[in-house]
Amino acid sequence: MREQLAEYLRAQMPDAHELAVTALERKSGGASRETWEFTARWMRDGQAVEGAFILRRDPTGSLLESDREREFFVLNALHDSGIPVPKMYWLERTGQWLERPFFVMERVPGTAPVGTFPPGYSESVQVRVTEQFIDILARIHRLDWRAYGFDRLGVPGAGVDAARTQVAHWQRIYRQERLEVHPLLERAFAWLAAHAPTSDRTTLVHGDYRSGNYLFTDDGTITAMLDWEMVHLGDPMEDLGWACMPFWSGRGLAVGLTSRSDLLQRYATISGFPVDEQRVFFYEILGTVKMTVIALTGVRTFCTGKTREVSLPLVAFLIPRLLRDIAEYLGW
Amino acid sequence: MRPDIGDLIEGIKRSLNEEILPVVDNAFAREQLAYTLFLCEHLARRWDQAHIFAQGEHDDLRRTLAAVVEIGCRCTAPTARLVASLEAARVALSAAPDITSQPLRVVSSFSQSLTERVVQLLDACEESAPADAAACTAIADALRAFVQRQQARDEQWVTDVQIGWW
């Protein structure tokens, strides 16, 4: 694969000479796409140049059949927005070079904590990360999305449309991807459709705003928000509900960082948007349903032989835990 | 018959752990092997209980739907949807054969068709006629109790698996 990748890079950078790819390594994680790290070295105008990159290639099967064009377009547009995202370089829509479509982006330094905040850092680092985590979300929601051309993501109508669109979207995926019927999920979809809340504003919604999807450096600087494949326009409370899900909590802290109330309070202060607890609760339930559907999709891709990734069937073990959360939400 | 499935899974685990893993340098491949071993552990613990698990669920479904059909007979003014759902449950119950000597996937498949009747009945109870509120509540309670038991069984099945999202 290394030589094919080098060929591709040479085609993208005709003025680069003696281009070579080194340290090409597939990384774990990246449930929706394969993630590869590599370094490239080349000569330009007599000068040696080196770059560290991430390549994200469409998998044979995945948890999410997400839209690579959408993610590339949004990240590309956000590069100079003040929201920390990796710089995007190239989007390859065909399988001509590496068998499947892919995109190449900047490799940003930092650690991606999963679950609880990793040990060994001072409290001030955790506080700094927590504040930025919330502040960046506020910045995403305050973004003038029309100015960035994000209306092409699909603008929900006023009122309950944002919520209903998301419920219908995930219900459609559930019906496509389930291997068996789940009474609790069926009831949850019925409840969500009947209780869709009215949104008071439309914002850019990250769609997967949680621990595991940000990078931070040792001094507590968040260097990038990652995994934008579920980005859309919708209700800003959706990202808050997702971040507040018990599934992401660690040691009783929302996204392993801070208390739910502190998260919501700081968000309201920084964004200037009032937090509607009822809507957050609705989106917490929708988020748990969505996460269950994502897990079911992973199970299906494994059971139908669409993937060779052995971590995907493991998500089946998470489904009872998610369904228990849904049962509690519904009072079952 | 020996080796049985458990013996074979243990053998695969030993081979992966002691022969293959030590000579694999690539980090990603090592991780894939670790996941495979994790799955083998689960299989080794559960393979000889899988049929008991599936049969337990199937028996519970049959008992629950039979009870629900019985309660349905007490409805005085059922909605057309409820009548159709009760009839579908009755037909599904009579179509499900004795599963004691059936392969696991056949049992699971019958259970799935019965679970679809559970969903259909729960939906029908939502729009029950006021005259039948008591019977519909009793039906919904019986179905809900089944879902709770099913949930408890599923949780029990993975109780010894400690993993988180990445």
What pLDDT score was predicted for residue B86?
95
Checking if the pLDDT of A66 tops 60, the result is no
Residue A145 C-alpha, separation from nearest chain B C-alpha, in angstroms:
30
- pLDDT tens digit sequence for A232-281: 999 999 999 999 999 988 777 888 899 999 999 999 999 999 999 999 99
Portion 290-329 of A in contact with B at CB < 8 A: 309-311, 313-315, 317-321, 323-324, 327
Residue of chain A with shortest Cα separation from B39? A314
| For range B153-163, the mean pLDDT | 86
What's the token pair of residue A99?
Answer: 């068998």
Q: Using 50, 70 and 90 to split pLDDT, how confident is the model at A307?
A: confident
Task: Confirm or reject contact between A180 and chain B (CB < 8 A).
Answer: yes
Q: What is the pTM of this model?
A: 0.92
Q: Which residues make Cβ contacts (< 8 Å) with residue B91, sequence separation at least 6?
A: none
DSSP for B81-143 reads HHHHHHHHHHHHHHHS---TTS-HHHHHHHHHHHHHHHHHHHHHHHT--GGGHHHHHHHHHHH
Nearest to A40 by CA among A67, A81, A11, A79: A11
Q: Using 50, 70 and 90 to split pLDDT, how confident is the model at B165?
A: confident
What pLDDT score was predicted for residue A236?
98
Q: Using 50, 70 and 90 to split pLDDT, how confident is the model at A61?
A: low
Considering the domain architecture, whether residues B60 and B33 belong to the same structural domain is answered as no
Higher confidence at residue B158 or residue A140? A140
Pick the CATH number of A2-106 from 3.20.20.70, 3.40.50.720, 1.10.3720.10, 3.30.200.20: 3.30.200.20
ipTM: 0.91
What's the token pair of residue A130?
Answer: 């927590």
Contact B163 A314 (CB under 8 A): yes
Higher confidence at residue A88 or residue A29? A88
Residue A187 C-alpha, separation from nearest chain B C-alpha, in angstroms:
8
Nearest to A74 by CA among A237, A164, A213, A207: A207
| For range B142-163, the mean pLDDT | 91
Question: Is residue A227 classed as helix, strand or coil in its secondary structure?
Answer: coil
Residue of chain B with shortest Cα separation from A184? B147
Q: Which residues make Cβ contacts (< 8 Å) with residue A148, sequence separation at least 6?
A: A77, A78, A81
Class of domain A123-330: alpha beta
Task: Confirm or reject contact between B119 and chain A (CB < 8 A).
Answer: yes
Q: What domain count does chain B have?
A: 2
Considering the domain architecture, whether residues B19 and B98 belong to the same structural domain is answered as no
Contact A25 B151 (CB under 8 A): no
Q: How many helices (H) and strands (E) does chain A have?
A: 9, 9
Bridge partners (DSSP) listed for residue A327: none
Considering the domain architecture, whether residues B137 and B71 belong to the same structural domain is answered as yes
- pLDDT tens digit sequence for A22-35: 999 998 765 668 89
Q: Tell me the CA distances in angstroms from A215 to A141, A153, A220, A226, one per residue in order.
A: 20, 25, 10, 8
